Amino acid sequence: MFKQDLGFYLGHEKQNGFSGFVDENNLFLTIEIEEGIDPDRGREITFYIREKIRVIVIENLHQFDLFISNIIKEKNLPSGSSLSIGYLKGNIFYLKTVNHGKIYIRRDDKLALLVEGDKTASGFIKEEDVFVFTFSKFMNLLGGESGLSDKFDHRPISEIIDEITPELLTKDDRGTAALFLKLKSIDENQKPASSFFELPRKPQQRTLTFITVFILTLILFWSVGLGYYRRSKEINQKKINLTKELITQKLSQAAEVSFLNMSSALSLIADSKAEVKKLVGLDDQVKELEKMINDSENKILKKEEKKYTEFFDLTVDDKNAKGEKLYLDDGRLLVSDRSRGILYDLSLDKKSLDKDQSSEVKKSALISLFEDKKYFYVEGVGIYQIVDGKTKKIINDDKEWGKIIDMVVFNGNIYLLDQGKNDIYKYVKTEDGFGGGKSYFEAGQTINLSSINSFTIDGSVYLAGDSVMFKYTSGLRDGFKTNLPDENINTTKIFTSRDLEKVYVWDKSRGTIYIMGKNGDYLEQVNSKILSTGADIVVYKDSIYILQGSKIYKI
């Protein structure tokens, strides 16, 4: 039986290629695919190999060769794939390389190439043997066999990896990999003495002998226990070091790819978290690794805890004022106070405040604003308009309406989101008021809106709800694919406008606003305590305004 000292190097990730490794059940495998699969597919392949080797038995070189050949066929690896693999059976190593794969051995201070190209080999191993499973590209970056040989000096594998990493990071190491393995024998037959012989003695002698045996037994158990503790500590430290190396490289790759491919970056972060979970019972070291991952994740995701300041207090008008909803139009913020039947009109630039009061406002469920007109919706009654302090109904309740949950005014036209009837009604502005409501959706474009609870318009229509988001332009489904870093986003509100270049998604349960481009690409996120307690939010000139009670706060 042999003790394994293991280390590896992974180059920067390629978008249309993959490099990785497997260390499972005495199988040591590195894979390098120049092009033809993405990193997610590559990680799926290595996971498949790990699971496969756990359930099969390899008895000879032919079975080993067949195992690898079947993997290549089953997973349909691209023709340019290269592999470098070893399987340890007792004190025999079965070796195989494919395409640009290379396997080196370091024995008796000499480095030699064992296998390369499409070949197999097998042989007996010796204590202190070092095997390197790699590829032509890695060797070229390192300066060939002489460059690799110079790195060995009876040092632990981890020190070799530490030396080559800074050198290779300055070069084009995309898509390459290497796995280093050093073997040390463990004498399983060596056991501590445990037999004691007792000759007939006098009572006093027997008592003394018993005490002596007892003390020796205690010493024996103590030394065995201490040895076990030291061995366990050494094994655990090895696990920590290997995991830290792996996580460091994955996080480095995540940072590299995050700008162009956030989903790959998130996958690498998830892989790092999964590696830490494997370290059972190593709480102190795990906390350090978790912090390292968390810090990198926050940096990659541009996740920042933001402070907020008080912007305006409605109690300057009335000490009993309390806002419930916000609506923004061209720098003017409409705030509803249903309990007192008031709509406040606040200029965000001038901080000037006007108000309109109407008994019908007390029944309002939704509000909106456009130019000099204020609108509010009363369930079961219809839509009202306030102009110059005068209130009148402009759209009667329609028996065809189901459950109206949101209202937006864009270019003077009123849009109603009907969750109950899976529709958006568009009421076009006319000289005398508004025309009859027509479906915004083109034929065959409607979807199930039962999980939608908010929408916004900047020319296109954005819909959001529990873990779903959609975009429509001119009534047709648009190419809008989100890649938010968190799963199961429960959107409280989605917001954008013609004046904004970004889309803001508020998840009140997380106290987070996710910020995206208008094509759905994730950009950053804002976290703040006020976002968990606010009643409503809007965004104006890249600042977030939050309503809480009588106060409006600003981030």
Q: Which of 259, 285, 300 is the last residue of a domain?
A: 300
User: What strands, in cross-sheet order, belong to the sheet with 101-107?
Assistant: 2-10, 177-185, 130-135, 101-107, 110-116
Residue 160 has a pLDDT of 84
- From its phi and psi, is residue 114 left (phi > 0), alpha (psi between -120 and 50) or beta? alpha
503 and 379 co-located in one domain: yes
Per-residue pLDDT, 321: 93
Give yes or no: residues 343 and 261 share one domain.
no
Residues 91 and 212 in one domain: no
**Residues in the chain with pLDDT values less than 70:** 1-2, 153-154, 185-210, 213, 217, 219-235, 259-260, 280-285
Q: Residues 384, 469: one domain? A: yes
* Tally of domains in the chain: 3
Q: Which two tokens stand for residue 5?
A: 């000292």
What's the CATH number where 70 sits? 3.60.40.10
Instruction: State whether 2 and 142 are in the same domain.
Output: yes
DSSP state of 490: B
pLDDT digits (tens, 9 = 90+) for 476-507: 999 888 888 887 889 999 999 999 999 999 99
Residue that finishes a domain, picked among 145, 170, 190: 190
Q: At what angle do helices 39-55 and 262-277 cross, to 10 degrees?
A: 30
> Which residues span the domain enclosing 373?
305-554
Q: Are residues 9 and 120 located together in one domain of the fold?
A: yes
* Residues 506, 515 contacting (CB under 8 angstroms): no
- The residue among 161, 166, 162 whose CA lies nearest residue 178 is 161
Helix orientation angle between 39-55 and 61-74, rounded to the nearest 10 degrees = 140
Q: What 3 state SS string does 425-483 have?
A: EEECECCCCECCCEECCCCCCCCCCCCEEEEEECCEEEEEEECCEEEEECCEECCCCCC
Cα-to-chain-centroid distance, residue 453: 26
How far is 359 from 365, CA to CA, in rounded Å? Answer: 13
Domain boundary among 132, 161, 190: 190
Structure tokens that stand for 441 in this block? 């959706």
List residues bridging with 461 in a β-sheet: 457, 472
Q: Does 400 lie in the same domain as 345?
A: yes
Q: What is the pLDDT of residue 230?
A: 63
Q: Which residues contact 366 (CB under 8 A, 6 or more apart)?
A: 325, 376, 377, 404, 406, 407
pLDDT in tens, 419-474: 999 999 999 999 889 998 999 999 999 999 999 999 999 999 999 998 899 999 99
Nearest residue to 297 (alpha-carbon basis) of 244, 250, 260, 243? 250
pLDDT value of residue 61: 92
Give the distance from CA 431 to its chain's centroid: 52
Q: Is 549 exposed, middle or buried (0-12, 13-18, 19+ CB in 10 A)?
A: middle
Q: Based on the fold, state whether residues 63 and 19 are members of the same structural domain.
A: yes
Same domain, 241 and 218: yes
Task: Note the pLDDT of residue 513.
Answer: 95
Q: What six digits make up the tokens of 482?
A: 């989100």
CA pair distance 208, 214, nearest whole angstrom: 10
108 and 246 part of one domain: no
pLDDT per residue as tens digits for the range 29-72: 999 998 888 888 888 898 889 888 888 889 999 999 999 999 99
Provide the pLDDT for residue 235.
Answer: 66
Kindly write down the DSSP assignment for every residue of 335-370, as one continuous string.
EEEGGGTEEEEEETTT--EEEEE-GGGGGEEEEEEE
pLDDT of residue 249: 82
pLDDT of residue 83: 95
Is the same domain home to 153 and 10?
yes
Asked if 331 and 207 sit in the same domain, the reply is no
